[in-house]
Amino acid sequence: MCGIVGYTGPREAYPVILKGLKRLEYRGYDSAGVALLNSGLKVYKKKGKVADLEESLIGKDVHANIGIGHTRWATHGEPNDRNAHPHLSASGRLSMIHNGIIENYALIKKELLSKGYAFKSDTDTEVLLNFIDEIQQHNDCSLEEAVRVALKRVVGAYCILLIDKEDPHTIIAARKGSPLVIGIGKGEHFLASDATPIIEYTKEVVYVNDYELAIVRPDELILKNLGNEKITPYITKLDMDLAAIEKGGYEHFMLKEIFEQPKTIYDCLRGRLDVANGTITMAGVENYMEQLKNAPRIIIIACGTSWHAGLVAEYVIEDLCRIPVEVEYASEFRYRNPVVNKGDVIIAISQSGETADTLVAIEKAKEQGAIIFGVVNAVGSSIARASHAGAYTHSGPEIGVASTKAFTGQLAVLNMIALKIAKVKGTISDERYHNLLAELEAVPEKVEAILENADAVKAIAEKYKDSSDALFLGRGYNFPVALEGALKLKEISYIHAEGYPAAEMKHGPIALVTETLPVVFVATKDSYHEKVVSNMQEIKARRGKVISIITEGDNISPTLSDDVFVVPPADEVIAPMLSVIPLQLLSYYAGTAKGYNVDMPRNLAKSVTVE
């Protein structure tokens, strides 16, 4: 949540920051602002998108070689100009941007009020800023020292960037729980929440860790811990190109990312899956194979779409590996008192690798001695680094708020993990193992075939776009896909949608069925198919509108459906990687038909770094 950018060096800072904010807008988009330091400290901020800020600054003096910028997802205080970042300290000397939540801000605010401080905003950020300001004024110390002292008292999560009117070259940055990447240029430095604003200037970056503080000048980067000890920055080379973070001719990132799936799934399998030799190479799994194959239980923790991938994995791992699996919402796991037994393995799934709930759940499981295996998309992210081992999904940057290509990447990785364990454990027959390897290899081509028919989904979406509600039903492997279809539709088209196991419908949701309710069946040919067809009949008998996702050659489902979309045949283990594609398209086309900004849906942000 919230995107932050900073620059110090010889370039004009404003265009660098503005471009960076546009790239980070997926992280929050209810207001934006910049603080620029030239002969004086200028702070400009505006409710709305980065483009609104840009427009408001036409003709203004934005000349500076150092600055910080922010795009916000509101936590404390409604989205308006006043609560937008950057904030200016009471002394007028400091400006700060912040991503995260300061949990003990109320107490600190009370202390500051008693010392005569007044506040212009409702934010926790302004409280932390004035706390730093007060420490600096009171102790007549450097900003770096004041930040260090303040952060020792702070409870919560933060990534902060500060500039000081008295020091026109330095940005002070610190993080705990919210990401920060520093790009190293020639005589210049770039700071951002992720690498996308940095990539066009340099490929050399440093990922700042929790409890680290950075002193950043054009030609100097000093990293310290909160005990004031220097840390050697670990420089990583970014493996990402600019094209990956641009729309490339598509109207929206979401559509681009849906259409990228043949390639992203291929990239995920490439170098790992060798059908001819019957092998899967995954170093992370191999290094922990003993623990994985002997695990008394696997606990999967994730949120949102990643949680749905975890549910599919539950079916796959239990089916192929005969290991009991539990799938938990990270937000629940972190706060209850979960039983983690010796030998249990945690699989943490996350696209961004920065989801606060998942990250904290990992720490909690670690405290109980669990091994953490991360299935993550964002390379170098906090969850990737917090895991003992893992496998990247290699889906490339996912920018649209709706998770699409990351989901199929997660399924590809989880399927490979399950197949590898099953092979070593001997819980899968040779024939099934080799068949599934070949089936996996064929997925990119099948996804391509589905996407060639995208217009058919568009027609369905346009027909039902004005519905107020929708039901998504599926059984077995397709039950999590139904949940995912419902999540996609609500977040992108704002149509209220529920996902249910098809059989569970008769225990309640069937009461909702009327002549106008679209009921989407994820009904590809699998071992549950006949049962699903019976459920379809139950809806049809009540005159519900049936839309079904079916397998080529299924002659029965069309007779019970108002609309059908056909996908190529696949083993039931693999089928979710295909059946989800039309559902992604359905939400995209419903959202765009209603004129919504599908890349930045209402109230959402891509990376949920607050709990």
State the residues that interact with ligand M6R by CB under 6 A.
Answer: 303-306, 350-352, 355, 358, 401-403, 487, 491, 608
Nearer to ligand M6R, 547 or 608 (CB): 608
**DSSP H or E segment with residue 77:** none
Q: In whole angstroms, how close is the CB of 357 to ligand M6R at the nearest point?
A: 8
Nearer to ligand M6R, 401 or 482 (CB): 401
Pure H helices in 505-608: 529-541, 557-560, 576-593
Nearer to ligand M6R, 13 or 487 (CB): 487
Q: Rank residues 490 and 529 by Cβ distance to ligand M6R and give the closer one.
A: 490
H or E element, residue 582? helix 576-593
Please give the single-letter amino acid code of residue 570: A
Active-site position among 42, 423, 525, 606:
606
Give the residue with the Cβ less far from ligand M6R, 62 or 580.
580
Q: Treating both helix axes as pointing N-terminal to C-terminal, what angle do 478-493 and 576-593 enclose, rounded to 10 degrees?
A: 20
Report residue 566 as tokens: 């056909």
Nearest to 523 by CA among 541, 539, 511, 542: 539
Question: Which DSSP category does 209 fall into?
Answer: P
CA distances from 391 to 298, 301, 396, 402 (A): 16, 15, 14, 22
Least Å distance, CB 468 to ligand M6R, is 21
Q: Calculate helix-pair angle for 124-139, 143-153, nearest 10 degrees.
A: 130
Contacts of 442 (CB under 8 A, 6+ apart): 570
Catalytic residue among 2, 159, 268, 321: 2
Q: Please calculate the CA angle 330-336-342 and round it to the nearest 5 degrees.
A: 80
R_g (Cα) of the chain, nearest Å: 25
Strands (E), 18-65: 31-37, 41-47
User: 268 an active-site residue?
Assistant: no
- Give DSSP secondary structure letters for 130-148: HHHHHHHHHHT--HHHHHH
CB-based contact 601:491 (threshold 8 Å): yes
User: Distance between CA 257 and CA 451 in Å, rounded?
Assistant: 12
The DSSP code for 500 is E
- How near is the Cβ of 545 to ligand M6R at its closest, in Å? 25
**Closer CB to ligand M6R, residue 366 or residue 542?**
366
The answer to whether 55 and 14 are in contact (CB under 8 A) is no
Tell me if 349 sits within 8 A of 357, measured CB to CB.
no
At 158, list the tokens: 């933060």
Cα–Cα distance for residue pair 409/382, rounded to 1 Å:
19
Euclidean distance between CA atoms 398 and 496, whole angstroms: 24
Smallest distance from ligand M6R to CB 351, Å: 3
- Toward ligand M6R, which CB reaches closer, 223 or 412? 412
Which of residues 258 and 273 has its CB atom nearest to ligand M6R in the complex?
258
Q: Which is nearer to ligand M6R, 280 or 401 (CB)?
A: 401
Least distance to ligand M6R, CB of residue 348, Å: 9
303 among known catalytic residues = no
Direct distance between the N- and C-terminal alpha carbons of the chain, in angstroms, rounded to an integer: 10
The phi, psi pair for 277, rounded to 5°, reads -95, 0
* Residue number, 178 or 355, with CB nearest to ligand M6R: 355
CB of 387 to ligand M6R, least distance (A): 13
The strand pairing partners of 329, in sequence order, are 302
CA 605 to CA 608: how far, in whole Å?
Answer: 7
Q: How far is the CB of 272 from ligand M6R (least distance, A)?
A: 21
Helix, strand, coil share of the chain (percent; to 5): 40, 25, 35
Using CB atoms, what's the residue nearest to ligand M6R? 304
Rounded to the nearest whole angstrom, what is the least distance from the CB of residue 173 to ligand M6R in the complex? 23
Q: How far is the CB of 407 from ligand M6R (least distance, A)?
A: 8
User: C-beta of 304: minimal distance to ligand M6R in Å?
Assistant: 2
Tokens 């934010």 sit at which residue?
A: 123
Q: Give the SS3 label for residue 568.
A: coil
- Residues labelled catalytic: 2, 606
